[in-house]
Structure 1
Amino acid sequence: MAEGPDKVLSKNDKSESMSDTVFMQNNLPEVFDPRRYGSVKAAQIAAYDFMKGRVQKKLKLRRIRQLWEGRASRVDGEEKDALRQAKIEEARNEYKALRSRLASLEAALAAADEDFPGTQMDAYRPAPRGMGRDNRA
């Protein structure tokens, strides 16, 4: 077997990938936003409550804190999958909240302004699409 020098990676090759630890550290606070939960600890507890039923190993709050702070030496695939599920669920919840907020704003505008095109507004909106690879434009 001929051995030669290792292939030197370009900067593009190095910057495209992200370690699992960094992925978790960046995405946990994004999905479980401390501003929404009131504190970092409350957000970590919410992350723990969500993830504990989705991983097979015995998950502890200390483990969530390690993932949150980027101090975990490894990340299990189950933990990444649970975070992806949380991200999708959070997007669905936010979408529903925005749709209901928009409906209430439209109702308030329709009540205040008789010239407001209430029911005609739906014609300007694209049809809702599902989330996932099959529904990409």
Structure 2
Amino acid sequence: MLGFEQENLGSAPKKKTSRNRVMSPTLQAKVLMQDAWPIRRFGKLENIFFHAVRFISPRVTKQFTPRRARSIWEGTARRIDSDEMDALRAAIIEEAHREQQELRARLAALDKKVAAFSESVAGRSVAGAGE
């Protein structure tokens, strides 16, 4: 019968994409920058911009200024170049390595404290048992 076929004769149906999963490059760069240079570590934004410029400048072809760093930090940059995005990803990796080293040093210090405490407790129990 004509007109009762179930096949679609028009264009292929569009894929449904959720807006929640799509992140603009500007927003992604903002998140990367805020994760790479956390304010709790640097104290104030001027320090963050100084370190960001020092890290990113040698990795990009265009001049990277503190003003550019601020616009990325605030999410007001109009565009993000691919070399800037690559530099931000490298900064995330560097921050992860630095944080990992800090955690390892902290764990080593805690291990020493626990070992010293265990020795003192064991020494007291041995001394108390001999009486």
1:36 & 1:100 partners in 2: Cα distance? 17
Which of these residues, 74, 84, 94, is aligned with residue 89 of structure 2? Answer: 84
Aligned residue among 63, 72, 76 for 2:77: 72
Q: Which of these residues, 64, 69, 90, is aligned with residue 59 of structure 1?
A: 64
Unaligned runs of 5+ in 1: 117-137
Can you give the 5+ residue segments of structure 2 that lack an aligned partner in the other structure?
1-9, 122-131
Specify the alignment match of 2:53 in structure 1: 48
The SS at the match of 2:86 is helix
Higher RCO (CA-CA < 8 Å; seq separation 6+) = 2
SS at match of 2:20: helix
CA contact (8 A) 2:26 2:77 kept: yes
What is the distance in 2 between the residues matched to 1:61 and 1:9?
41
**1:115, distance to aligned residue in structure 2 (A):** 8.8
Provide, for residues 75-122 of structure 1, a one-character-per-residue CA deviation record: whole Å limited to 9, x for no partner. Answer: 000001001001001101111111111011101110111399xxxxxx
Report the alpha carbon displacement of residue 8 of structure 1 after superposing the two structures with TM: 5.9
CA-CA distance at 1:42 after TM superposition: 1.2
Shift of 1:10: 3.2
Q: Say if 2:49 and 2:70, in contact at 8 Å, map to a contact too.
A: yes
Question: Structure 1 69/9 Cα, relative in aligned 2: closer, same or farther at 3 Å?
Answer: farther
Identity value in percent: 37
Give the distance between the partners of 1:98 and 1:114, measured in 2 at CA. 24
Question: How well do the aligned residues superpose, as a CA RMSD in angstroms?
Answer: 2.2
Deviations 1:7-66 (A, max 9, x none): 666352x22221110011122112101121111221122111111111111111111111
